[in-house]
């Protein structure tokens, strides 16, 4: 009876772990989706016609003025052409300016315009309001621990991505050395 019970308990624990593992990804995705939706709704309500992704570009440029378009595309995991379209819109709105790189004419750098400062503040205000909504009812220590845990998870996954991007060892290095006729037998 003990054997069946422990087997049943292990199976139940395995199913619970599988559900928890699956729900982690879904929860992260759902939280991200809901934050995006809340941001875009609140932005519209105050007359700020900007998407969450456009806001991310504006904030990244605000923190890293002079950054290259290539770096922003990589940070947002966007195809360069998609970023160019987004930058066209932000430029038309008078928020972001493209400038030639001082030493490399192939590179375009990004800068905020003076008119972007109030928009940056409105974006930050919306982000703060969403954080307050998201963390409502959680103790400050829980908030800090959750942010730290998510930061560690992100770091772990980024490390795995960097490792995965390393060139794979060549097949020749993995294959055993050929035997020559003198060593056989």
| Confidence bin at 177 (pLDDT 50/70/90) | very low
Q: What number is the average pLDDT over the span 21-39?
A: 89
Q: What number is the average pLDDT over the span 175-184?
A: 41
Instruction: Specify the pLDDT at position 163.
Output: 86
The domains located in the chain, with CATH, are 33-162 (1.10.10.10)
Q: Which residues are registered as beta bridge partners of 98?
A: 110
Instruction: Report d(CA 1, CA 10) in Å as an integer.
Output: 14
DSSP string, 15-45: HHHHHHHHHHHHHHHHHHHHHHHHHHHHHHH
Residues 6+ apart with CB under 8 A from 91: 97, 98
Q: What is the pTM of this model?
A: 0.72
Q: Which residues are registered as beta bridge partners of 97?
A: 111
Residue carrying structure tokens 């087997």: 7
> Is residue 4 predicted with pLDDT exceeding 70?
no
Distances (CA, A) of 24 to 28, 30, 31, 150: 6, 10, 11, 11
Instruction: List for the chain the helix, strand, coil content (%; round to 5).
Output: 70, 5, 25
Give the model confidence (pLDDT) of 43-99 as tens digits.
999 999 899 999 999 999 999 999 999 999 999 888 989 999 999 999 999 999 999
Q: Report DSSP state, residue 113.
A: -
């Amino acid at each position: 009876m003990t054997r069946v019970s422990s087997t049943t308990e292990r199976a139940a624990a395995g199913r619970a772990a599988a559900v928890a593992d699956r729900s982690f990804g879904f929860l992260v995705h759902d939280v991200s989706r809901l934050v995006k939706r809340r941001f875009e709704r609140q932005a519209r309500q105050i007359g700020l016609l900007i998407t969450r992704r456009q806001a991310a570009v504006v904030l990244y440029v605000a923190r890293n003025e002079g950054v290259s378009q290539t770096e922003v595309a990589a940070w947002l995991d966007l195809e360069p052409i998609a970023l160019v379209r987004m930058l066209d819109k932000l430029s038309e709105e008078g928020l972001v300016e493209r400038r030639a790189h001082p030493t490399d004419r192939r590179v375009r750098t990004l800068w905020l315009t003076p008119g972007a400062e109030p928009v940056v503040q409105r974006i930050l205000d919306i982000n703060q309001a969403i954080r307050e909504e998201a963390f409502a009812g959680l103790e400050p220590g829980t908030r800090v621990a959750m942010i730290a845990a998510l930061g560690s998870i992100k770091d772990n996954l980024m490390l795995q991505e960097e490792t995965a991007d390393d060139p794979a060892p060549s097949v020749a290095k993995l294959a055993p050395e050929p035997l020559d006729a003198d060593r056989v037998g």
